[in-house]
Amino acid sequence: MAQEKLLELLRRVQEGTVSPEQAVLELKVSPFEDLGYAKVDHHRAIRQGIPEVIFGSGKTAEQILGIASAMRRRGNENILITRLSDEKARILAEQFPLTYDPVSRIGIIGQKGEVTASGTIVVATGGTSDLPVAEEAALTAEALGNRVERLYDVGVAGLHRMLAHLDAIMEARVIVAVAGMEGALASVLGGLVDCPVIAVPTSIGYGANFGGLSALLSMLNSCASGVSVVNIDNGFGAGYLASMINHMGGENK
């Protein structure tokens, strides 16, 4: 039950079209639904403003179908699925109106929501190899109602490529900096802008990169203020957090 539906239920109780007992019953059955293999959190949208997101990796197509079906029965029209394989996406598409991006492995049942935040989120990458993680962040943010501008392959190996986009960088309300190797992109951006920078280390790099650990440590040790760091390859977490910041309002950019 989303916040809007909860408010509508309370209004109906106030108007007398729904009894308090009926409202209590509806609220009792709303918190979660036990499917045996999953407990679907129907109150997530009330607590956090965003419905539960399905993590597709490790789940069977049948389990994802069951969770998505339970969510749709409760009125969720836009369901976000992360780390969804091509094979599972094909199965889901037979049952639901699914939009699937094979690069980010993001699936959306229904349609992307309308833009509900006034600011712009910039998603920047050090290189083209970081694009899958960056697109996971960008598509997550778009699905959550944000305007996103992509600046790809603007890493420190050719700093002039990033400086050519200073207008977009300076106008951003939040920046998601996605980089592997030594992960220097986040520090450079953090030293230029007055908005939060969310750093995403990726597992891209040679042996001493240690699967993204070197980029993670570099970003954690950033000398630029205003840089926060999510886990290695966690584009979803970065896009989600950027959306939360962007929806907090404040001066338009």
192 and 213 share one domain: yes
The span from the first CA to the last CA of the chain, in angstroms, equals 33
9 and 71 share one domain: no
* Residue-range definition of the domain harbouring residue 238: 120-246
In a domain, 253, yes or no: no
Residue 45 CA: distances (Å) to CA of 71, 96, 108, 142, 218: 11, 21, 17, 17, 35
146 and 236 share one domain: yes
| DSSP secondary structure code for residue 51 in this structure | P
Whose tokens are 């305007």? That residue is 147
In a domain, 251, yes or no: no
In this prediction, residue 123 carries a pLDDT of 98
In a domain, 64, yes or no: yes
43 and 147 share one domain: no
49 and 85 share one domain: yes
Euclidean distance between CA atoms 177 and 170, whole angstroms: 14
Number of domains in the chain: 3
64 and 148 share one domain: no
239 and 159 share one domain: yes
pTM of the model: 0.83
105 and 74 share one domain: yes
Which residue, of 109, 128, 148, is where some domain finishes?
A: 109
22 and 66 share one domain: no
23 and 37 share one domain: no
Euclidean distance between CA atoms 126 and 151, whole angstroms: 9
**With contact defined as beta carbons under 8 Å apart, do 200 and 124 qualify?**
no
Q: What is the mean pLDDT of each successive set of 10 residues along the chain, which is 253 residues long?
A: 65 81 67 75 75 90 91 82 94 92 93 83 94 96 94 88 89 95 91 94 91 94 92 96 87 52
